[in-house]
Structure 1
Amino acid sequence: MSRFPADANPPTTPLSEEEERAARATWLGDRYIQSNDRIKGLARRTFNKQVLSELGGYSGLYALDAERYPEPILVASSASIGPKLEFAAQMGLHGVLGADLVNHCVNDVAVQGATPLYFMDYFAAGRLDPQVVEQVISGLVDSCKANGCALLGGDTAERPGLLRETEYELAGFLTGVVSRARLLEPDHIQDGDLMLALPSNGLHNTGFDRARQGLLEVGRYHIEQYVNALQDKVGAALLRPHRSYLAPIRKLLQAECAHGFAHITSGGVTDSLPRALPRGLAAHVDLSSWEVPPLFQHLRDLTEIDQQDMLRAFNMGVGLVAFVPPALLPKARAVLHRINERSWILGRVVRAPQRRVLYV
């Protein structure tokens, strides 16, 4: 739970041994400790009355509200930032990674009807830079606040033997809760349910390495280059953060007009939809039902990846799918319209021997 290790090695310049010891003491006493205090202050902004622990202890303590959640089921999700992390670091945009990590986990628990309670992170670097750590944690704090969960604690480690000085790793996990009676499970979804899709705003946390290779290596674009086909700069298109679907999921559940949800993540549309389905049902997807965003269209043109591979590698502009009974479709669309959420009918659930996606 310690945010900065006592044996952290600050950057040094060529100095005598005595000067180096003095510089190290100054660094640790000034920058690291002050930075640690600032980070604790940031994290406390996410706390609520359920948080019982202080930062820096052995563990985080969270009191579950049993009256609000009778027969509570804890729902957990973990995630890490892969190749996108190195790219963000090159651009000096460390703060955007917090949204990727937190929102990914929030969506994973929300599609099972759970409310996010708390998040905990792990940050490891070849050499700790307080400014970088603060930017990353600040991004986590912003995303936790936006989703109403506490940043309960975290661990920061220096790994000079495993990571280069400028390298770092970021991972975390989130715990949510749902009453047993409100837990969303695959067998709630029925034959004939319509699939109401909500848009992604970019790659989210999937397919980044292939997209980077396509734009920077095949397309030979520069990070700051504006590309007409993308309708954006290359770096901005690649780093747009994973969005949270907690608000639309809550609204649809409150209105009782959805049987379940699918978060489109690793494996793209092809592998994500079947995870939400029970045995004996498949997802019948109409490929003409939506316009694929420019990023994915241009990647397909550049790399000549066939459509089936694209649908398995990327979300293709689909971030969340709600499974809605046909009779409740107008109500569901109205709920989403009131919160300015765009949606379209992606297809419907059909009977089939295997849980899979059938494209037409």
Structure 2
Amino acid sequence: MRSYTYKDSGVDIIKADRLIERLKKDIQKTFNPLVLNPIGGFGSLTEIPSGLKHPVLVTSTDGVGTKLKIAFLTGKHDTVGIDLVAMSVNDILTLGAKPYFFLDYYACGKIDEDTYSQVIKGVCDGCMMADCALIGGETAEMPSFYNEGEYDLAGFVIGFVEKEKIIDGSNITEGDTIIGLPSSGLHSNGFSLVRKVFFDVHNININEIIEGLDLPLFEELLKPTKIYVRQVLNLMAQFNIKGMAHITGGGLPGNIKRIIPDGLKAKISIKQDNVPKIFHIIKDLGNIPQEDMFSTFNMGIGFVLIVENKEAQSIITTLNASGETGFLIGKIEKSIDKEKVTIEYM
């Protein structure tokens, strides 16, 4: 009788180990002095950052969602790792936390060496952008569990914030100003609707350059989520930031309402001219109601700051001086009902 090995079942442990070894240099480039042991141990050893009187650990986890389907269609996997990092580090940033450590989970039916390398190098790129170390993860090869050529990703971030400097929106008051930081595009939300409109309804070729876009469709869709860590930490060091929101699933209304105190509302005005073309194209092709667009997509605003009115213009000036951009998009007003966010689309 023939003998069978784990490799015969579809799991190649040696290949996975070989790939990690090949990528070690990229991974270790992300390390900071707080990392105490190399990749490959049973766990990751790190020090707590010094200089914090009352350090509070802040964590988050997220994925990339069905944006991965675009990567599968095109064979372009070098940006979704950046998305993976961005979705988590931007979330903990809203609490005033600096990300320090990141872990990833990669699951597939069969490891493809090129695909895997592209993804993990993208994760490393994202960690470099966010100034955090990729300290570990899990690669799970599960035959027959995923379709051929497909995989799933999850990311986990660990950050710290000084207890006295936690930002949670509780100090937001009437008259405060809302600043929007531009997105790089769709980021990583709404892709089920995106795929429905472009591919199911209109059968558009993913390589097509649609009127109004400067890039083939797949390149526009795969633009990585912007990582706001450096610019926002720089602003936090200079100004009194009262509240922040990462604009992901739920759009502007669904995310901003999470930080608005009872009795107040965010009154937002968005100019159509400031909304990137991709959102107009999706809306027109899908005949999507305006309310649905704003509750599904970021509409060109990827991150929001709520600040004292007297500091708003100085913040915009500081952003511009560093090569970034910010828009004054609204005010905090008293609310006469339970609605916490209103949007005027001009």
Aligned partner of 1:358 in structure 2 is: 342
Q: What are the superposed Cα offsets for residues 34-53 of structure 1, whole Å, 9 maximum, x if unpaired?
A: 32211222211111221112
Note closer, same or farther for the CA distance 1:9–1:195 as it changes in structure 2 (3 Å cut).
farther
The correspondence of residues 155-174 of structure 1 with structure 2, limited to 5 A, is: 155-174=138-157
Instruction: State how far apart, in whole Å, the 2-side matches of 1:89 and 1:195 are.
Output: 38
Q: CA RMSD in A?
A: 2.0
Aligned partner of 2:29 in structure 1 is: 45
Note closer, same or farther for the CA distance 1:60–1:33 as it changes in structure 2 (3 Å cut).
closer
Instruction: State how far apart, in whole Å, the 2-side matches of 1:287 and 1:149 are.
Output: 33
TM-superposed CA distance for 1:33, in Å, is: 4.2
TM-superposed CA distance for 1:296, in Å, is: 0.6
Q: What are the superposed Cα offsets for residues 200-219 of structure 1, whole Å, 9 maximum, x if unpaired?
A: 11111110111122122333
Q: Which amino acid aligns with 2:274?
A: E
Q: Which amino acid aligns with 1:50?
A: L
Q: SS at the partner of 2:170?
A: helix
Q: SS at the partner of 1:232?
A: coil
Aligned partner of 1:265 in structure 2 is: 248
Q: What are the superposed Cα offsets for residues 193-233 of structure 1, whole Å, 9 maximum, x if unpaired?
A: 11111111111111011112212233332111111133432
Instruction: State how far apart, in whole Å, the 1-side matches of 2:119 and 2:48 are.
Output: 28
Instruction: State how far apart, in whole Å, the 2-side matches of 1:192 and 1:229 are.
Output: 38
Question: 1:195·1:347 contact (CA, 8 Å) conserved in 2?
Answer: yes
Q: SS at the partner of 2:241?
A: coil
Question: 1:199·1:320 contact (CA, 8 Å) conserved in 2?
Answer: yes
Is structure 2 residue 49 aligned with structure 1 residue 61? no
Instruction: State how far apart, in whole Å, the 2-side matches of 1:355 and 1:53 are.
Output: 49
Aligned partner of 1:335 in structure 2 is: 318
Question: 1:212·1:238 contact (CA, 8 Å) conserved in 2?
Answer: no
The correspondence of residues 170-249 of structure 1 with structure 2, limited to 5 A, is: 170-249=153-232
Q: For structure 1, which segment, 220-229 or 210-219, has the greater mean C-alpha deviation from structure 2 after superposition?
A: 210-219
Instruction: State how far apart, in whole Å, the 1-side matches of 2:129 and 2:300 are.
Output: 23
Aligned partner of 1:16 in structure 2 is: none
Q: SS at the partner of 2:30?
A: coil
Q: Which amino acid aligns with 2:37?
A: S
Q: What are the superposed Cα offsets for residues 302-335 of structure 1, whole Å, 9 maximum, x if unpaired?
A: 1111101110011111111111211112211111
Question: 1:8·1:128 contact (CA, 8 Å) conserved in 2?
Answer: no
Instruction: State how far apart, in whole Å, the 1-side matches of 2:55 and 2:6 are.
Output: 41
Question: 2:16·2:111 contact (CA, 8 Å) conserved in 1?
Answer: no
Instruction: State how far apart, in whole Å, the 1-side matches of 2:98 and 2:300 are.
Output: 25
Note closer, same or farther for the CA distance 1:9–1:301 as it changes in structure 2 (3 Å cut).
farther
Instruction: State how far apart, in whole Å, the 2-side matches of 1:217 and 1:289 are.
Output: 27
Number of equivalenced pairs = 339
Q: What are the superposed Cα offsets for residues 84-114 of structure 1, whole Å, 9 maximum, x if unpaired?
A: 1122022111111111010111111111111
Counterpart of 2:18 (choices 31, 34, 41) is 34
Counterpart of 1:116 (choices 99, 113, 123) is 99
Instruction: State how far apart, in whole Å, the 2-side matches of 1:203 and 1:58 are.
Output: 37
Note closer, same or farther for the CA distance 1:8–1:62 as it changes in structure 2 (3 Å cut).
farther
Instruction: State how far apart, in whole Å, the 1-side matches of 2:272 and 2:147 are.
Output: 46
Aligned partner of 2:135 in structure 1 is: 152
Aligned partner of 1:287 in structure 2 is: 270
Q: SS at the partner of 2:157?
A: strand
Is structure 2 residue 121 aligned with structure 1 residue 138? yes
Instruction: State how far apart, in whole Å, the 2-side matches of 1:228 and 1:143 are.
Output: 31
Aligned partner of 1:302 in structure 2 is: 285
Instruction: State how far apart, in whole Å, the 2-side matches of 1:317 and 1:191 are.
Output: 25
Q: Which amino acid aligns with 2:294?
A: L
When the two structures are superposed, what TM-score results if normalisation uses the length of structure 1? 0.89
Question: 1:200·1:319 contact (CA, 8 Å) conserved in 2?
Answer: yes
Counterpart of 1:85 (choices 55, 64, 68) is 68
Instruction: State how far apart, in whole Å, the 2-side matches of 1:226 and 1:61 are.
Output: 47
TM-superposed CA distance for 1:290, in Å, is: 5.4
TM-superposed CA distance for 1:134, in Å, is: 1.3
Instruction: State how far apart, in whole Å, the 2-side matches of 1:8 and 1:290 are.
Output: 56
Q: SS at the partner of 1:171?
A: strand
Unaligned runs of 5+ in 2: none
Note closer, same or farther for the CA distance 1:349–1:168 as it changes in structure 2 (3 Å cut).
same
Q: Which amino acid aligns with 1:224?
A: N
Instruction: State how far apart, in whole Å, the 2-side matches of 1:310 and 1:151 are.
Output: 34
Q: SS at the partner of 1:151?
A: strand
